[in-house]
Amino acid sequence: MRRAAQDFALAVLVVALCALAACALPAHAQAPPAAQPYRALLLRTAHAVWGLNAPVAVFAAQVHQESAWRPGALSHVGAQGLAQFMPATTQWIAGLHPDLAVQQPYNPAWALRALVTYDLWLYQRTPARYPPHDRMWVALRGYNGGLGHWQAEAASTGLAQPTRAQVDGACGRAKRSPVHCRENLGYPHRILVVVQPRYAQWGPGL
């Protein structure tokens, strides 16, 4: 009886310590409060477009990077909403799916649907031989700076099947100005490496 009581007390202590450890996580390692109202919506939207294995943590990190979860965000160059679509991109993607036909970049549901739809469109055009992480890296570079630039840089390597790292190394050697490479190469790194861990509890990542 005493042994059972001791075991129970130990179990309670372990649970309490785990809870304290979770609470002690630094703020920079957690999803910000501004993201919480959109968690369920993003999950449903990602599953609808990508399936149940959708890399939800990646999408959350991308929204974090793009707009800091501000649905009314407007950048100095005119990018709009949670997904920070430029008006021309909004118009283009409206033709990809009936749910996006009504162009509403400041509507969170529209913006999240547009983001995951565009990510899938880009991902499907990355080299199938790349592992998923590298394919998403390429897709994110395309989201930030245009897939055509990445494809031109891949061709500029002169290799039949360049690796992701080899194409990264060719940034600025084709149509893209070299001055834009720091931002374009930093974009997937920040999302996949720096920010994504904050959303690990939201769903699968890469």
Residue ranges per structural domain of the chain? 31-202
E-state strands within 127-199 = none
Between the CA of residue 189 and those of 9, 194, 196, what are the distances in Å?
A: 45, 7, 10
User: Which residues of the chain carry a pLDDT beneath 50?
Assistant: 1-25
Could you read off the pLDDT of 153-190 as tens digits, one per residue? 999 999 999 999 999 999 999 999 999 999 999 999 99
181 token code pair: 């490479």
Query: Which 3 state secondary structure label does DSSP give 85?
Result: strand
Strand residues in 75-198 grouped as ranges (E): none
Residue 13: its pLDDT value, please?
39
Please state which CATH number belongs to domain 31-202: 1.10.530.10
